[in-house]
């Protein structure tokens, strides 16, 4: 943020244009667009009901947790509940299903996508609700979730999502912050346009006819020569949009989910999400450019921003060690001692970045003011963990791999894939360009 303001000041004084300043201005413009769209968001109102099939794929959930998940769902009286246990035989989960009185099926073939297909094939209702096996419903989750389907143009709906007991650790607070940012900004903005690009998979509802039409493609479509199990929710959202339906967010339907408390598991989760989101963006890009250009801009920015920031870190590190572009900071009241001047610039940069985050995401801190204390940590996690993970996820989009965070899950296709080089070449070009524009 400090470099941006200094470059804008130099631009106004001398007329010299900085590409990094233009990029940052673009990011702020997108933020303003999201805010403007989100202010026009309204959840579906009134009373409306239809038949619902709840499908829950499960692999290795703790029985006590899964029993609570089922209790919360059965209490809301969906028309039917179908549990698909996939992978190694799990008699404990079978007993939980029997005790809850729900239909269940076991398949030794691991993989969430295959489990979804089996559940959909057994479903009989107009709306199919896909639920992650660790997601906790709240009162009226289902009743609120189906309301948007009164509009026949709506094909998919997602819920408001929060983290269970976020005060447990810094990581759970950070995860809750990210969820709330989506709840307050991205999801409402895209919902106004009827193009929520990813209906998060913790709880999503689709018209059954859409799932049936695209299920074979869901289980076979490849990206750069390989089948990727990750990002099933984004893939199903893509199909719903391509079928001509609207995808929307229902803020009055609330669910809770867990978040990793270990750094290693958090990084694996974010890596999986980074790969899934970005490969789906590239696969969906031609359609988005023709039919949903605003969505294309949002998702392309999600890909480009991490590269620009990582490139900026590299460029600034070189500048600090070599003294290159020190004149940009000449107007600051810098100490004469070099190391003190460097410390001053780094501290001021951190403060300006914190102020930027506080302004852009003020809704969350109004909701959880205590999180302001953790804002510096959130900034460090975003800058030095999340952004590099997203860059790594882009490079490795076409690698054969499985689910990544669940034992006994889909392990990926093990075969040589020469197309794996394409993301490396494209990502390398973006990273090199990012270093250049940050100089």
Please count the other Cβ atoms lying within 10 Å of the Cβ belonging to residue 15: 7
pLDDT exceeds cutoff 80 at 229? yes
**Cβ contact 191:294 at 8 Å:** no
- Cα–Cα distance for residue pair 143/46, rounded to 1 Å: 11
Q: Which residues, at least 6 apart from 326, have a Cβ–Cβ distance to it below 8 Å?
A: 319
Q: What is the pLDDT of residues 17-60, one digit of tens each?
A: 667 777 778 888 998 999 999 999 999 999 999 999 999 999 99
Q: What is the pLDDT of residues 151-172, one digit of tens each?
A: 999 999 999 999 999 999 999 9
pLDDT > 70: what percent of the chain? 82
> Left (φ > 0), alpha (ψ -120 to 50) or beta: where does 23 sit?
alpha
- Cα–Cα distance for residue pair 74/337, rounded to 1 Å: 68
* pLDDT reported for residue 402: 57
Q: What is the pTM of this model?
A: 0.88
* pLDDT reported for residue 376: 81
Q: What is the pLDDT of residues 93-114, one digit of tens each?
A: 999 999 999 999 999 998 899 9
Distances 69 to 81, 105, 203, 359, 392 between C-alpha atoms, Å: 12, 17, 12, 37, 34
Tokens of 225: 């020569």
Pick from 190, 166, 189: nearest CA to 177:
166
- Longest pairwise C-alpha distance within the chain: 75
**Cβ contact 406:59 at 8 Å:** yes
**Cβ contact 181:364 at 8 Å:** yes
Tell me yes or no: is domain 1-439 CATH 3.40.1440.60: no
For residue 349, the SS3 value is: helix
Number of H helices, E strands in the chain: 17, 8
Name the E strands within 224-312. Answer: 246-257
* pLDDT reported for residue 13: 67
Q: What is the pLDDT of residues 256-275, one digit of tens each?
A: 999 999 999 999 999 999 99
C-alpha 312: how far from chain center: 23
Backbone angles phi, psi at 117, to 5 degrees: -60, -45
Tokens of 419: 């197309």
Q: What is the pLDDT of residues 375-405, one digit of tens each?
A: 888 888 988 899 999 999 999 988 876 554 4
């Amino acid at each position: 943020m400090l470099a941006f303001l200094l470059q804008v000041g130099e631009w106004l004084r001398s007329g010299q244009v900085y590409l990094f300043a233009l990029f940052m201005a673009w990011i702020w413009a997108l933020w303003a667009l999201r805010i403007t769209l989100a202010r026009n968001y309204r959840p579906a109102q009134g009373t409306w009901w239809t038949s619902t099939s709840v499908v829950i794929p499960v692999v290795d959930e703790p029985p006590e947790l899964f029993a609570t998940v089922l209790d919360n769902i059965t209490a809301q009286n969906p028309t039917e509940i179908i549990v698909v246990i996939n992978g190694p035989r799990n008699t404990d989960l079978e007993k939980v299903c029997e005790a809850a009185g729900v239909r269940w099926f076991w398949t030794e073939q691991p993989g969430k996508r295959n489990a979804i297909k089996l559940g959909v094939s057994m479903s009989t209702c107009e709306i199919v609700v896909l639920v992650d096996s660790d997601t906790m419903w709240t009162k009226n989750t289902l009743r609120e979730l189906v309301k948007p389907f009164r509009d026949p143009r709506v094909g998919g709906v997602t819920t408001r999502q929060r983290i269970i007991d976020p005060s447990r650790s810094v990581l759970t607070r950070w995860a809750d912050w990210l969820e709330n940012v989506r709840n307050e900004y991205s999801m409402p903005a895209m919902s106004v346009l009827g193009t929520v690009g990813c209906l998060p998979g913790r709880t999503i509802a689709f018209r059954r006819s859409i799932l049936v039409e695209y299920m074979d493609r869901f289980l076979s479509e490849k990206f750069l020569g390989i089948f990727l199990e990750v990002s099933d929710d984004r893939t199903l959202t893509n199909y719903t949009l391509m079928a001509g339906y609207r995808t929307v967010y229902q803020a009055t339907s609330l669910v809770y989910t867990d978040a990793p408390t270990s750094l290693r598991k958090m990084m694996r989760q974010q890596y999986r999400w980074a790969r899934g989101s970005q490969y789906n963006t590239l696969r969906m890009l031609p359609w988005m450019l023709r039919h949903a250009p605003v969505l294309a801009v949002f998702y392309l920015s999600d890909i480009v921003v991490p590269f620009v920031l990582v490139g900026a870190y590299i460029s600034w590190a070189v500048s600090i060690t070599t003294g290159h572009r020190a004149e940009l900071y000449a107007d600051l009241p810098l100490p004469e001692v070099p190391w003190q001047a460097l410390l001053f610039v780094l501290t001021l940069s951190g403060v300006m970045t914190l102020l930027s985050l506080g302004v852009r995401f003020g809704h969350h801190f109004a909701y959880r003011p205590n999180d302001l204390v953790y804002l510096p940590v959130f900034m460090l996690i975003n800058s030095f963990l999340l952004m590099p993970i997203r860059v790594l996820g882009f490079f490795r989009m076409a690698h054969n791999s499985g689910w990544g965070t669940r034992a006994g899950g889909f392990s990926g296709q093990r075969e040589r894939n020469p197309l794996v080089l394409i993301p490396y070449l494209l990502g390398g070009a973006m990273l090199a360009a990012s270093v250049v524009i940050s100089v």
